[in-house]
């Protein structure tokens, strides 16, 4: 389980395809603290560490075809920065919201507006069961726990403060880019119970 509070930016140093799987090697500031079999969220996608390279300061994760189809990982290339978060420690603070690292679908960034001190982003997604946002509710965008507003059946807005802009991949996000979305787990259960 994660909280959507990004710990660091990682950089993809190698992408390798093997059958229908894709292996991503990532350089990060906390590679030395990782272990094989550990779960790490990469832009909101929970992936298992399968290899470590101490000399290069990297870890490697594998994405299967299902993950490549339902997320934006299929477009990842060497040099791309990704948001990283290690799983929540049992004695850690719960600063964001409950994030599973199970991406529901991708959305398109419709617009980015510089508001002279913050940034306003608008996202559009396909409608469907469990794809519910509520005004001032939680949403996870590329692994970042955020509060949404201007919520509609197929979209929402978020406001980004300077700290988040500087320390996450939001600094690179442009209109037309595809992002990973994980809707609030509580909202998904309620939507299912209500037949939405």
The reply to whether 8-86 and 105-194 are identical in fold is: yes
Listed by start position, the domains of the chain span: 8-86, 105-194
CATH topology (fold) of 8-86: Elongation Factor Tu (Ef-tu); domain 3 (2.40.30)
Q: Quick one: tokens of 80?
A: 């791309």
What distance in Å separates the CA atoms of residue 90 and residue 82, rounded to the nearest whole number?
Answer: 25
Q: Which CATH number fits domain 105-194: 2.40.30.20, 3.40.50.1950, 1.10.287.90, 3.40.630.10?
A: 2.40.30.20
Q: Indicate the pTM of the whole model.
A: 0.93
Q: Give 102's contacts (C-beta < 8 A, 6+ positions apart).
A: 46, 182
Report the Cα 68 to chain-centroid distance in Å.
14
Per-residue tens of pLDDT for the chain, all 196 residues: 899 999 999 999 999 999 999 999 999 999 999 999 999 999 999 999 999 999 999 999 999 999 999 999 999 999 999 999 999 877 777 778 889 899 999 999 999 999 999 999 999 999 988 898 989 999 999 999 999 999 999 999 999 999 999 999 999 999 999 999 999 887 777 777 777 6
Query: What's the CA angle centered on 137, arms 136 and 138, to 5 degrees?
Result: 130
**What residues pair up with 55 in beta bridges, in sequence order?**
none
What distance in Å separates the CA atoms of residue 187 and residue 140, rounded to the nearest whole number?
Answer: 13
């Amino acid at each position: 389980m994660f909280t959507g509070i990004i710990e660091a930016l990682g950089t993809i140093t190698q992408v390798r395809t093997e059958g229908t799987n894709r292996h991503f090697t990532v350089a990060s500031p906390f590679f030395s603290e990782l272990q094989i079999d550990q779960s790490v969220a990469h832009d909101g996608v929970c992936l298992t560490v399968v290899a470590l390279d101490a000399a290069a300061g990297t870890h490697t994760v594998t994405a299967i075809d299902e993950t490549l189809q339902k997320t934006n990982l299929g477009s990842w290339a060497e040099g791309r920065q990704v948001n990283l978060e290690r799983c929540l420690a049992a004695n850690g603070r719960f600063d964001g919201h409950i994030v599973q690292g199970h991406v529901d679908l991708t959305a398109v960034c419709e617009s980015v507006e510089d508001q002279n001190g913050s940034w306003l982003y608008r996202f559009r997604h396909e409608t469907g069961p469990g794809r519910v946002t509520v005004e001032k509710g939680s949403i996870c965008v590329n692994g970042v726990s955020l509060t949404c507003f201007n919520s509609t059946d197929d979209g929402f807005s978020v406001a980004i403060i300077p700290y988040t802009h500087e320390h996450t991949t939001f600094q690179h996000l442009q209109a037309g880019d595809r992002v990973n979305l994980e809707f609030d787990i509580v909202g998904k259960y309620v939507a299912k119970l209500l037949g939405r």
